Amino acid sequence: MNRLITEDERRQLLEHGQARTAGQAGDPLPVVRLFTPDAHVTWLLVSLDPADGDTAYGLVDLGLGMPELGEIKLSDLASIVGPNKLPVARDRYFRAVRPLSEYLRLAQENGSILD
């Protein structure tokens, strides 16, 4: 198990990644929320590329007021630390309440990811 995601989350992310690769992605609910505890950076991930099992896709909020969709490698996230040297963490209590497109719309309107 990767310290950032559970095995169940990995399975869900890969399922969404297979659908995305096949052009059938639809508008899934985000599976996991990752964040920097000592900075204002958040990732809402919806899929993992089944080809490498490392490249995640989702909504990225770097805390600059311009959240956007993008890709990042879980292995890169595992090496990121904030200004106080705290590593990226998984929000154990996150439960998506809307599809990715709605999180994106609200984040772009508000300049940051809500929830």
| Averaged pLDDT of the chain | 93
Helix (H, G, I), strand (E, B) or coil at 38: coil
Q: Please, is 82 exposed, middle or buried when counting C-beta atoms within 10 Å of its C-beta (0-12, 13-18, 19+)?
A: middle
Q: Measured on CA atoms in the order 83, 85, 90, 94, is the torsion positive or negative? A: negative
pLDDT digits (tens, 9 = 90+) for 47-56: 999 999 999 9
- At residue 26, the pLDDT reads 85
User: Which pair of tokens denotes residue 10?
Assistant: 């990995």
User: Which pair of tokens denotes residue 68?
Assistant: 């956007």
pLDDT digits (tens, 9 = 90+) for 59-70: 999 988 899 999
Question: Is pLDDT of 87 > 90?
Answer: yes
Q: How confident is the model at residue 2 (pLDDT cuts 50, 70, 90)?
A: low
Q: How confident is the model at residue 1 (pLDDT cuts 50, 70, 90)?
A: very low
Q: Which of 12, 1, 3, 11 is nearest to 34 (CA)?
A: 3
User: Which pair of tokens denotes residue 115?
Assistant: 């929830």
